[in-house]
């Protein structure tokens, strides 16, 4: 996804803005995170509103100053998404709207654009001095909820919005949380004693149904990409981070494969742990498959009939679940 850019809208994208609006109108969809684009047939009128909303001196009374962005695919200059960042929370936003609203063009959905767009927006939010970000989505909108959780969102509650008569799920993303090397820190306290570790990763499948596996540098055996959770992470964040580090792929988290808890591991350095392993189906949205030659010696897709020598009981369990062997 290297040809995507998140920028503020300018007049040179007038035709693309018009096309984005038309696609939503034709599809009968709401235009979340677009600064009211639905109301403006002329893109120049909308651009004036966007400019006024950014400045606290010219924003409409009762509204929060906000910065509008468009997510542009450079190869064809198409706007595939829009995202609106509100600088402060009004009473309404603090209950229902949140700091960020976004949408993806109907024809461009299920391609990972929403997760990528939100990921690129969060450093901008942090730069505004906002340390906790509230994002809401319609109850039952699994795609939007997954996008938020993929970027560190933690579910808080569901509230009823009386004007639209809908239930909204509220999620918070903590931008203050900086993952540290939790394993190193805890081992400095307890040495090699047995501890509980939580791991997350998952399975990437190709079009033929074969699953991606990694030959690990520490065991020289095969397993699924993944690793230990760090402080400040959700399991989904860990899976996304580990896949990038170990395979070079950008992924978004899909369905849960399983949670495996009765797994005792003794590491070569003498550390002992009971591992809780959380496995997901993962969808590739970008990146290039790459071995680092250190943690990952080889990457290869295996079909059900090509099972390699697997180096972990947890990964054996994952294999059995995805290919229906024994469970």
0.85 surpassed by pTM: no
CA–CA separation, 65 and 256 (whole Å)? 38
CA–CA separation, 253 and 112 (whole Å)? 10
In this structure, are 135 and 27 located in the same domain? yes
CATH number for the domain spanning 227: value is: 3.90.79.10
Residues in the chain: 327
Q: Is the pLDDT of residue 163 over 60?
A: yes
Rg (CA), the chain: 22
Determine the pLDDT at residue 1: 42
**Phi and psi of 101, rounded to 5°?**
-125, 145
Q: Is residue 135 in a domain? A: yes
Residue 178's pLDDT band, with cuts at 50, 70 and 90, is low
Residue 68's pLDDT band, with cuts at 50, 70 and 90, is very high
In this structure, are 108 and 166 located in the same domain? yes
- Residue indicated by tokens 């996008």: 147
DSSP string, 251-316: EEEEEEEEEEEEEEEE-TTS-EEEEEEEEEEEEEEEE-----SSSEEEEEEE-GGG---B--HHHH
CA–CA separation, 8 and 18 (whole Å)? 15
Exposed (0-12), middle (13-18) or buried (19+): which is 239, by Cβ within 10 Å? buried
CA–CA separation, 270 and 129 (whole Å)? 44
CA–CA separation, 285 and 71 (whole Å)? 15
Q: Is residue 210 in a domain? A: yes
- Residue indicated by tokens 């939503």: 24
Residue 304's pLDDT band, with cuts at 50, 70 and 90, is very high
Contact between residue 252 and residue 112 where contact means Cβ atoms under 8 Å apart: yes
In this structure, are 164 and 311 located in the same domain? no
Q: Which residue range is the domain that position 187 belongs to?
A: 182-322
Query: Is 298 annotated as catalytic?
Result: yes
Q: Is the pLDDT of residue 327 over 50?
A: no
Residue after which a domain boundary falls, among 144, 174, 204:
174
Q: What would the mean pLDDT of 292-297 be, rounded to a whole number?
A: 78
Residue after which a domain boundary falls, among 174, 195, 212:
174
The string of pLDDT tens digits covering residues 246-283 is: 998 989 999 999 999 878 888 878 999 999 999 999 99
The token pair that represents 232 in the structure block: 């400040």
Determine the pLDDT at residue 325: 64
CATH number for the domain spanning 18: value is: 3.40.630.30
* Phi-psi region at 123: left, alpha or beta (left = phi > 0; alpha = psi -120 to 50): alpha
In this structure, are 138 and 253 located in the same domain? no
Determine the pLDDT at residue 230: 85
Contact between residue 213 and residue 302 where contact means Cβ atoms under 8 Å apart: yes
**Number of structural domains found in the chain:** 2
In this structure, are 237 and 288 located in the same domain? yes
The token pair that represents 88 in the structure block: 């402060």
Q: Is residue 257 in a domain? A: yes
Q: Is residue 327 in a domain? A: no
Q: Is the pLDDT of residue 296 over 90?
A: no
Residue after which a domain boundary falls, among 174, 198, 214:
174
Contact between residue 243 and residue 204 where contact means Cβ atoms under 8 Å apart: yes
CA–CA separation, 271 and 180 (whole Å)? 19
Determine the pLDDT at residue 85: 98
CA–CA separation, 218 and 12 (whole Å)? 52
The token pair that represents 225 in the structure block: 């990409």
Determine the pLDDT at residue 308: 95
In this structure, are 217 and 169 located in the same domain? no
Chain mean pLDDT for the chain: 92
In this structure, are 29 and 165 located in the same domain? yes
Quick one: what percent of the chain has pLDDT higher than 70? 97
Determine the pLDDT at residue 287: 84
In this structure, are 170 and 192 located in the same domain? no
Task: Give me the catalytic one of 74, 298, 309, 325.
Answer: 298
Determine the pLDDT at residue 112: 86
Q: How far is CA 113 from CA 33, 72, 150, 167, in A?
A: 14, 10, 12, 25
The string of pLDDT tens digits covering residues 69-125 is: 999 999 999 999 999 999 999 999 999 999 999 999 999 998 889 999 999 999 999
Beta bridge partners of 223: 214
The string of pLDDT tens digits covering residues 213-239 is: 999 877 889 999 999 998 878 899 999
Higher pLDDT, residue 181 or 214: 214
């Amino acid at each position: 996804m290297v040809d995507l850019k998140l920028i503020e809208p300018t007049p040179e994208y007038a035709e693309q803005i018009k096309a984005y609006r038309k696609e939503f109108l034709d599809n009968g969809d709401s235009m979340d995170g677009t600064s009211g684009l639905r109301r403006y047939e002329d893109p120049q009128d909308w651009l004036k509103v966007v400019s006024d909303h950014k400045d606290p001196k010219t924003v409409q009374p009762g509204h929060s100053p906000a910065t509008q962005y468009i997510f542009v695919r450079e190869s064809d200059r198409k706007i595939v998404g829009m995202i609106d960042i509100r600088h402060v929370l009004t009473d309404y936003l603090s209950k229902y709207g949140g700091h960020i609203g976004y949408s993806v063009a109907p024809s461009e959905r299920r391609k990972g654009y929403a997760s990528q767009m939100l990921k690129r927006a969060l450093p901008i939010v942090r730069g505004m001095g906002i340390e906790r970000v509230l994002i809401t989505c319609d109850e039952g909108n699994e795609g939007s909820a997954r996008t938020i959780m993929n970027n560190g969102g933690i579910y808080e509650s569901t509230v009823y919005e009386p004007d639209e008569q809908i239930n909204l799920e509220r999620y918070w993303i903590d931008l203050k949380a900086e993952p540290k090397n939790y394993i190193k820190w805890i081992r400095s306290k307890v040495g090699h004693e047995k501890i509980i570790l939580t791991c997350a990763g998952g399975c990437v499948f190709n079009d033929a149904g074969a699953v991606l596996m990694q030959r690990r540098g520490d065991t020289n055996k095969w397993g699924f990409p993944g690793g230990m959770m760090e402080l400040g992470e959700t399991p989904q964040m860990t899976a996304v981070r580990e896949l990038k580090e170990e395979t070079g792929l950008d992924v978004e988290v899909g369905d849960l494969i399983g949670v495996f808890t009765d797994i005792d591991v003794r590491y070569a350095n003498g550390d002992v742990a009971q591992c809780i392993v959380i496995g997901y189906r993962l969808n590739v949205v970008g990146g290039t498959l790459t071995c680092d030659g250190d943690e990952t010696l080889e990457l290869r897709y295996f079909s059900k009939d090509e099972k390699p020598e697997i180096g972990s009981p947890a990964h054996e369990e994952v294999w059995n679940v995805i290919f229906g062997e024994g469970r």
